[in-house]
Amino acid sequence: MERVFITGRGLLTPLGNGLEANEAALRNGTSGITAIPEFADVKLDSLIGGMADHDPQTELIDRKTKRFCPPVGLMSVVAAEEAFREAQIAVEDIPNMRMALVGGQAASNSRELFENAAKYVGSDYRLRSITPFAVPRIMPSSAVSILSLIFGIKGESYDISAACATSALALMQAARLIRSGEYDMVMTGGVEQLDWQTALGFCACRALSTHYNDTPEKASRPFDRNRDGFVLSSGAAYLVLESERSVKARGVRPICEITGLGANSNALDMVVPDADASAAVMAAALKDANLNIKDIGYINTHGTATPIGDVVELDAIRKVIGNSGAVPAINSTKSQTGHMVGATGAAEVIFSSIMLEKQFISRTINLEEPDEAFGWADLVREYREGVRFNHALSNSFAFGGSNACIIISRCD
């Protein structure tokens, strides 16, 4: 079985464009949450969000291509471009590489669907009102298709959708393709755009924060006793995964290794998470990595700041710790970014890789009054520099019950 290494990473998040901007924000405890005017225009209950750059600039997309390239496509290309650059892969060489593409997108095409339907109805059902590029812009695999087209990736390519676990599961499938020896490299990750059409459903199920509309930067507050729901955000996060054989042949230095993978389903409730299933998926990832919980120095939680979700996840972590005496540091980077849904799993693996590589841990911002139920946990409330840890664990738990856990390890 081939070992799997991360050699390239690319990010667009509410914290900024690129790895450098995101690292600085993690270190500084910056919030990327702001007021979203269009949410107010349509009278949503939640008026805030984390808005990544939906129109980033790149020379790789010309005017012709942009006609059938929605924001998720633009964002994906820019993030993937940075990942290839860090991996020292020239764009012109990609078509000749044994490379696959596994992307993730959860619910990003609501606006495209809504606007096309509105144009059609508003024009008295005239087909000419709809662009002939509607299908490429609407299909769930639009971002993956754009990436394949722009970079000339000729291996298998497809989109995985599993709500909040989307890009974590995409990354896991990519890692499995390398482990099996089918591919030397896989470009993988996920993307999500932010619009009121998508936010509408989350408002209807009372999942979003509404108590901090006047102070957006305070709204995302995982583990805090005054948390009232998550903050919806957009972003793009992509990674180059590479086999040990390929890393050695190219003579590049890997950033870290993907050592543990775990996935399962709650199979109990559409929206309420389950501590036993969450604990089981972490245990599966630990077993896959041949590690135990004492080896994990840092856990990047799913940590969305919902009243129930945070309790269930911390209960699950406590089950995994058991009587081991382990005290891993725990935080939630969603306190800064909000919830990027389809992009969030990959983004948080990248965040974890930055902290593992640079040996720091960002704080959970807005954790002013920790829930008393979490008194046992080492919740990171102040920035930690110069920490020493070799393994990090990242959780993704989704509506629909899909769970994923990924462990990354430092390279010798």
pLDDT tens-place string over residues 114-147: 998 999 999 999 999 998 888 989 898 999 999 9
Question: Looking at the predicted structure, is the pLDDT value of residue 155 above 70?
Answer: yes
pLDDT at 108: 67
Tens digit of each residue's pLDDT (9 = 90 or more) over 49-97 = 999 999 999 999 998 888 889 999 999 999 999 999 999 999 999 999 9
pLDDT at 63: 87
Q: Which two tokens stand for residue 326?
A: 């382990």
Query: Which residue type does 196 have?
Result: W
Closest by CA to 309, choosing from 398, 219, 194, is 398
Given pLDDT bands bounded at 50, 70 and 90, which one contains residue 17?
very high
Assess whether 238 and 319 both reside in one domain: no
**Do 210 and 49 form a contact (C-beta atoms < 8 A)?**
no
Assess whether 208 and 118 both reside in one domain: yes
More confident residue, 386 or 269: 386
Assess whether 27 and 121 both reside in one domain: yes
Assess whether 263 and 243 both reside in one domain: no
More confident residue, 68 or 18: 18
Q: At which of 233, 250, 267 does a domain end?
A: 250
- CB-side neighbour CA atoms (13 Å) of 76: 34
Tens digit of each residue's pLDDT (9 = 90 or more) over 259-274 = 999 999 998 888 889 9
The CATH number for 357's domain is 3.40.47.10
Mean pLDDT of 283-310: 98
Assess whether 229 and 275 both reside in one domain: no
Ranking 109-113, 336-340, 357-361, 375-379 by mean pLDDT, the lowest is: 109-113
Assess whether 219 and 333 both reside in one domain: no
Tens digit of each residue's pLDDT (9 = 90 or more) over 140-151 = 899 999 999 999
Q: At which of 216, 250, 284 does a domain end?
A: 250
In whole numbers, what is the pLDDT of the chain averaged over residues? 96
Assess whether 243 and 296 both reside in one domain: no
Domain that holds residue 53: 4-250
Please give the positions annotated as active site: 164, 302, 339
- Number of domains into which the chain is organized: 2
Q: At which of 250, 284, 315 does a domain end?
A: 250
Assess whether 185 and 293 both reside in one domain: no
Mean pLDDT of 162-174: 97
Assess whether 265 and 161 both reside in one domain: no
Assess whether 267 and 291 both reside in one domain: yes
pLDDT at 64: 87
The reported pTM is 0.97
pLDDT at 99: 98
Assess whether 70 and 174 both reside in one domain: yes
pLDDT at 271: 85
Assess whether 279 and 327 both reside in one domain: yes
Given pLDDT bands bounded at 50, 70 and 90, which one contains residue 186?
very high
